[in-house]
Structure 1
């Protein structure tokens, strides 16, 4: 390209980085407001802010692409132009504190322009432009506290740094509770051996809670160190729990929870620190937990490509009962499932393809309260054809022909969702022989349904095959094609009559639901039905569902603590 022709490419590259920076400022402004919303108990505003922040990326992307089309006749530019533009953009990322997010934004712009048909590292950042070395900006994201003081003095120092514009309910009580909790967790020898106490500078806000997250470092081990904070009905601050177990931290950062509000200029360093605390979490999951779900998708795709290069197994249909709306497949050695909307639905499904998409979007915009799996939407996703099992390829052609095509040695799926892999609950219950684990799973199932309803979502199809169970025994809902808001259903009692034909003459509207019938289809086997009824019999009553409907309709924001109730510190509200 001639030197004079470099200018348009450089100009557009600069315009894109400007749009990204504007987008990140918008994202950060919403995130920073989390502290004030938490302090004032503005829970409805918290819900609205969470939804608004999810829309920031798409709105910013649309503005950037419109700007480019205004200044550029896109279809007249050849590959040399796009490669030059990428190089110009790369030069703008030098020293940029969010360079990895800016790469993803650039990819989105190119993807939108070419409708995701040009997946090429010469014009996109399929691979990261540089290798990020964790620790480079560590001092910018952590506060360090003196481990040689007393435990109580350390807590005083922490709360001197992490301040809130509301008073403690009882600060002395909370520090004493924290002191006792840490001494129960660590022996005197362990306490004496602590070499460092490091806490992330940003406070992590979600729903009605705030978390100060860090770690305690000792010569032979490092423990998570998380102070969970809430506010009382009188808007006073109190410490609800001290969490030092990786299992608790893993649940807090679970894939079925809403994204945190944690304000930082250095997301790569924060994600790297969290990765050290949670080595079993994928890096893309941590970015998603921070609200950077678009970049999480980028990191996932890179991780997925790397896994493909280092594995040989074939993609095949996922275990479990075949769905009536979605075709689901997986790579056995990888921890996600791929879900495609079928071309035709069973007669019993009175819904459309657009309806299914709207349901998945509703879940994305809702508080998933730890009970609904996060899903990530992709277009023109490419798979190596040689890795597709013949039986899967045939099933895809039979059920999803409009969404799949073969180009060269690749299978391209025009639209799909990716979701964390879980064991389908029906398979788990068929295989599990431990009565305690079965009881726990059924109890989890009932609790899951109730918590989803309190989050203002009616699950619709509650067959247990539509739920999964995690390695920690938590039951998660993952089939969204029949969900709706609670207000959109009319919960009714079945008529009580000695007339055997009463049901035949019952007038039923499309939105009517009869909870007394739930026991016949949520779980199939008699002993499981009886167990569910004994643990959650209220689910089978219309009055209970109307009560949940009233709570959801009131605008009340539920507060489901993600850790076990036994971790909560003793407290009497004053």
Structure 2
């Protein structure tokens, strides 16, 4: 075998990875200036560009390699040796785990394989946590003898964004009061108390977030400080101590942060220490390394399979006309496949459905759409597939299946966080819980609208309820851009024939929407229907939807607050 060819292939992949990560870091580094300039359109465009970067670079690498490896592209030994040499090249890289994932992506594009081949790919090498506790370069550190006032003033000074503050002294006193109310009523500061704030700022949408921790009462207490740049200048919006709220900021319904991470595993290790509810793959996702997050998820799932015994079964809920969905009850994920045939009235193709999912992957999810990972040739042990599920899969997605004596291999699927379908939740919850759920349901639809997404099929079966009782949309086959829809009042009938017509007597175009009709199907639970209609009365008004369209067309960007309005220092202040 030609050693020079192996060496050249490994070097080219390493060079292409270096190009990818360098460009990724350059795009990330633009976020602070966009925040300062309040250039929200550029912030969005930059975010989408960064999301597309990985796939584009993998494709470019594939094209680069094909020219000089075509005579050995199908030889397993060639790729085994290439992996070994590549592993040596990246040994000293501080982002080695990302470089390994990039190699996996490239080889999957070139070498035909049905699933993961451990001798050709980096399957369990992976996450290598870096120590962050002893590094002074990573934190601004504030000693206890400074006192609370000086510490807060120093934090504000250290993170000076270089633009006018709305009310800097007011922010300082609001932060001091919040610390006293939450921490100092429960713990007494001592000589061992210390406060640290991670030096790199986390940017997303219109906000900048500081993440820190205070050692008090013998343990670390994490906190997050969100800053906004509004019409009157920079201001602190709140101070977050609640672990569930912090977890939500890094949740699967949120867009990825822009944060500089020279050593990604070091940042992930820090985040894992302060937001312990999140798994490693979720944290990689949250900082923009979603392809490596996918790798970490797969590893986590394989380990879980080894340590569990339950069977893969159909997911609960009303069966969809487009997607077949199953789950492992002990693992908080669903697996979704596009069916071979769609029942009427669905008329789209499988490729059109996949395009909808791609749209969601690069769009701002504003906390109301679930993130997904896309897999090809996903392997499951056949003895872990419930016979009823296997029968269903053969009937609905047979073209996607390869079944061997020991495995079922699925050609294409999506993974998504498992939630309780809203229709099932409403059937089983109390009246008070149902009121909150339908309020959330309405907010979910309207916040998506403000982000220029129209869900299309808004029935409750297409929404899920998270552990924190947020309502999230997860069925994407009919989504459209809101600005492409035509919201209309229903024409009033004037003649006898029109009044008693069995079908609409007026013309209806494919993109016409009649919000007045929403009441007929949106809520099935009788005791909360009226509450929903009154609480979200604007939803049934075409003029309200048109007003959202106008704002979008003017370039206004919604800031979806990832924390409750009631904890904001100034709840009515514009973002």
| From 161, 166, 171, the counterpart of 1:169 | 166
C-alpha distance in structure 1 between counterparts of 2:127 and 2:434, whole Å: 48
Counterpart for residue 524 of structure 1? 524
Consecutive unaligned residues in structure 2, runs of 5 or more: none
Deviation at 1:497, TM superposition (A): 2.8
Q: Is the 8 A contact 2:189 2:217 kept in 1?
A: no
Q: Does 2:357 align with 1:360?
A: yes
Q: Is the 8 A contact 2:194 2:214 kept in 1?
A: yes
Q: How does 1:238-249 map to 2 (within 5 A)?
A: 238-249=235-246
Counterpart for residue 299 of structure 1? 296
Counterpart for residue 473 of structure 2? 477
Counterpart for residue 205 of structure 1? 203
Seen in structure 2, the aligned counterparts of structure 1 residues 404 and 231 have a Cα distance that, compared at 3 Å, is same
Q: Deviations over 1:314-344 (max 9, x none)?
A: 1010000000100000000001100000011
Q: Does 2:374 align with 1:377?
A: yes
C-alpha distance in structure 1 between counterparts of 2:349 and 2:571, whole Å: 51
SS of the equivalent of 1:159 reads helix
Q: TM-score, normalised by structure 2?
A: 0.95
C-alpha distance in structure 2 between counterparts of 1:364 and 1:139, whole Å: 36
Deviation at 1:138, TM superposition (A): 4.7
Counterpart for residue 221 of structure 1? 219
Q: Is the 8 A contact 1:141 1:269 kept in 2?
A: no
C-alpha distance in structure 2 between counterparts of 1:394 and 1:403, whole Å: 14
Q: Is the 8 A contact 1:144 1:199 kept in 2?
A: yes
Counterpart for residue 564 of structure 1? 564
Q: Deviations over 1:179-206 (max 9, x none)?
A: 1111111126724136221222210000
Q: How does 1:146-161 map to 2 (within 5 A)?
A: 146-161=143-158
Seen in structure 2, the aligned counterparts of structure 1 residues 464 and 138 have a Cα distance that, compared at 3 Å, is farther
C-alpha distance in structure 2 between counterparts of 1:40 and 1:348, whole Å: 47
Counterpart for residue 39 of structure 1? 36
C-alpha distance in structure 2 between counterparts of 1:571 and 1:320, whole Å: 37
Consecutive unaligned residues in structure 1, runs of 5 or more: none
SS of the equivalent of 2:196 reads strand
C-alpha distance in structure 1 between counterparts of 2:137 and 2:63, whole Å: 36
Q: How does 1:26-425 map to 2 (within 5 A)?
A: 26-75=23-72, 78-117=75-114, 119-128=116-125, 131-135=128-132, 138-187=135-184, 190-193=187-190, 195-234=193-232, 236-425=233-422
Q: Deviations over 1:351-396 (max 9, x none)?
A: 1111111111111111110001111111111111111101101101
Seen in structure 2, the aligned counterparts of structure 1 residues 504 and 206 have a Cα distance that, compared at 3 Å, is closer
Q: Deviations over 1:470-508 (max 9, x none)?
A: 111100000010000012211111222364235542221
Counterpart for residue 512 of structure 1? 512
Deviation at 1:145, TM superposition (A): 2.2
Deviation at 1:114, TM superposition (A): 2.0
Q: How many pairs does the alignment contain? A: 569
RMSD, matched Cα: 1.9
Q: Is the 8 A contact 2:207 2:228 kept in 1?
A: yes
| Worse overlay, 29-38 or 514-523 | 514-523
Q: Does 2:439 align with 1:440?
A: no
Q: TM-score, normalised by structure 1?
A: 0.95
C-alpha distance in structure 1 between counterparts of 2:484 and 2:113, whole Å: 36
C-alpha distance in structure 2 between counterparts of 1:54 and 1:302, whole Å: 22
Q: Deviations over 1:123-149 (max 9, x none)?
A: 110111674354488545333222331
